[in-house]
A and B are shown apart, each in its own frame.
Chain A
Amino acid sequence: MESAISPNVQHGRQSGFRRFLHKLNEQKYLQAMAIPGVIWMIIFNYIPMYGIIIAFKEYDITLGFNKSPWVGLANFKEFFADERFWLIIKNTVGISFFKLLVGFPLPILFAVLLNELVSVRFKRTVQTISYLPHFISWVVLGGILMNWLSETGLINIILTKIGILKQPIAFLAEPKYFWGITVVSEVWKELGWNAIIYLAAIAGIDPELYEAATVDGAGRFTKMFKITIPCISGTIAIMFILAVSGLMNSNFDQIFVLRNPLNADASDVIDIYVYRMGIEAFRFSYATAIGLFKSIIALILLLTANGVTKKLTDKSLF
């Protein structure tokens, strides 16, 4: 019996495998173009994901990812008991929250107002100028800020001249000003850039809507609030999901440049703490555990924001 069936099965398998080989041969160029991309992702995306296991180990550089001894959740427990834990959470969420609060609506407002400009040429010029800061690095911008916010800097000169300050303040040396500095400088840098998407959404609105409203006697503000803003609400929803899911990211580049030992109590955010523990203090396992904690919260935030927005507006990322 067996001998009667197996050749058939074997034949079937072989021809399936042959078909596979044949197909592979047919698309060998295509696969040769695709597979290097897959290999790149395995090396640079998936090996680091595998490397997360050291969060549950006591990583020993001589033993490597696999052979280092397991320690269970010890690294996480240590982080939750860390005296800076709550401070770090507060800074991470606080900075992001204020960036969201101020930095999210302003580009929308900017786009709407820009759209109301009568002269097309002036509008273009303003737009081009508004993109400029996006192309300046945080290092350069950080350099300007350190110069301006120092005790002899421009900000102090102006504030003392108009009488708001009696004594110059070294703004970056005091934790209480740090959040404000990050929020304002980020808004300055990204206002125009973040408005692009809303401007495009506004440009996509059917002009007939405005014409009809004009015929009905709608004024400028009515049109702004009854047509422009509702028409771009889908875009606003999507951008909001992205912004909320990024709540645990507090712009590493910016804070890394602006931080110093004096403002550490306000500038230690999760990403910075991972850097300090991992790269500076060589506590690889501990830093990886902190990073993993952040990734999980970020993922939960993304899914929640997506779900809530879907319920409220029918718009979602996935």
Chain B
Amino acid sequence: MKIKPSVGDKIFNIFNVTLMLIICFLTLYPVWYIIVYSFNEGKDAMLGGIYFWPRKFTLDNYKTVFSNSDITTAFMVTVARTVITTTLHVFFTAMVAYAFLRKELMGRKIYMAMGTITLFFGGGLIPYFLLIKSLGLYNTFWVYVIPGMFNFYNLIIFQAFFRELPIELEESAKIDGANDFIIFTRIILPLSTPVLATIALFVGVYNWNDYFMGVIFINNPKLQPIQTFLYKVIAQTTSNQMLAYAPGGIATRNVTSQSLKMATMVITTLPIVCVYPFLQKYFVKGLLIGAIKG
């Protein structure tokens, strides 16, 4: 049944669309601003007045950033960390989630209770810091990987999904002589793409965007992720360490520390911005499972 929109409806529609367009603009503009700035000559950008389009277009900022070995190393550390930790996290947490879900598992109630407590109470920063130090993970790449392999909240999301899978599949595989691990890897995992993608996105984004572990657990600049590098450059406003690497010296190029920051920000953010729209349908679902059953 269609009812002709009234005048009030029309006014509301116009108002609503306008409001949404304003929100979109406010959301996109800061990102657009960094992009524009990063493609503009640094010294020229300092004069101000660049809002929507680069005035003096140049690739110098990017050339300088990519010729800085600290940034490229940090970028590679971030890629390695994100890929390795995300893969292990998804596999390991899903495996434990599946095992914890099986009714016949002895100790199941205790295991689940142990996990639930961790959702509401934790040791806090300092005991955690001391633990990492005493485990010998301080200043090693593994500090990104091993502590990041598991999360009980994600376990609950996995379980909510696994519960919906038809149990007959497991039973028939068991009759065929498959053990639990084979059932998990050959039957459960292939059927769970949506939830695997969701958790992979969450964990991946966390690992990509995290700078704090690099701040407190890493001393060696060769092991710091790009966000930590960026944090140090941004927080220490006087730092000119990026410029020091500019090939041919600062004088010959028109880059500034500001324009280099902008280019680094674009490089840091681009991979995730390219990925998330394609994973949208997954994370919307995943977030719901998490919120309802959590």
Contact = CB atoms under 8 A, between A and B. Distances in A.
Interface stretch (A8-16, A175-183, A274-282): A274-282
A94 interface: no
A257 B228 CA distance: 11
Nearest to B49: A157
A132 B237 contact: no
B265 to A, nearest CB: 5
A224 to B, nearest CB: 10
A132 B126 contact: no
A188 to B, nearest CB: 7
A116 B12 contact: yes
Interface string A30-50: 111110111011011111111
A294 B19 CA distance: 39
B118 A45 contact: yes
Interface footprint category on A: 35 or more
A147 to B, nearest CB: 7
Nearest to A141: B30
B27 A33 contact: no
A140 B27 contact: no
B211 A37 contact: no
B127 A34 contact: no
Given A135-B276, A279-B216, A48 B128 contact: yes
Task: Identify which of A23, A29, A65 gathers the most chain B CB atoms within 10 Å of its CB.
Answer: A29
B147 A36 contact: no
A122 B20 contact: yes
Given A23-B106, A30-B99, A135-B273, A130 B27 contact: yes
Contacts of A27: 104-106, 180
Contact of A33 (B16, B96, B130): B96
A291 B122 CA distance: 10
Contact of B125 (A36, A114, A135, A275): A275
Given A27-B106, A131-B276, A214 B3 contact: yes
B28 A129 contact: yes
A44 B131 contact: yes
A307 interface: no
Contact of B99 (A34, A45, A200): A34
B212 A152 contact: no
A143 B86 CA distance: 26
Interface in A121-135: 122, 125-126, 128-133, 135
Interface in A208-246: 211, 214-215, 219-220, 235, 238-239
B115 interface: yes
Contact of B205 (A130, A135, A154, A235): A135
Contact of B13 (A32, A40, A118): A118
Interface in B30-51: 30-31, 33-34, 48
A33 B231 contact: no
A138 B234 CA distance: 11
Interface of B: 1, 3, 6, 8-9, 12-13, 16-17, 19-20, 23-24, 26-28, 30-31, 33-34, 48, 92-93, 95-96, 98-100, 102, 104-108, 111, 114-115, 118, 120-131, 134-135, 147, 149-150, 152, 155, 179-181, 184, 205, 208-212, 216, 227, 230-231, 234-235, 237, 258, 261, 265, 268-269, 272-273, 276-277, 280, 284, 287-288, 291
27 contacts: A24-B106, A31-B106, A32-B181, A33-B98, A36-B96, A37-B93, A44-B150, A47-B131, A50-B127, A114-B20, A117-B16, A125-B24, A128-B277, A129-B24, A135-B269, A140-B34, A140-B268, A146-B237, A200-B288, A214-B1, A253-B211, A279-B125, A284-B130, A287-B125, A288-B124, A292-B124, A295-B121
Closest 10 CB pairs of A and B: A48-B123, A51-B127, A37-B96, A291-B124, A137-B209, A34-B99, A33-B99, A48-B127, A29-B180, A45-B118
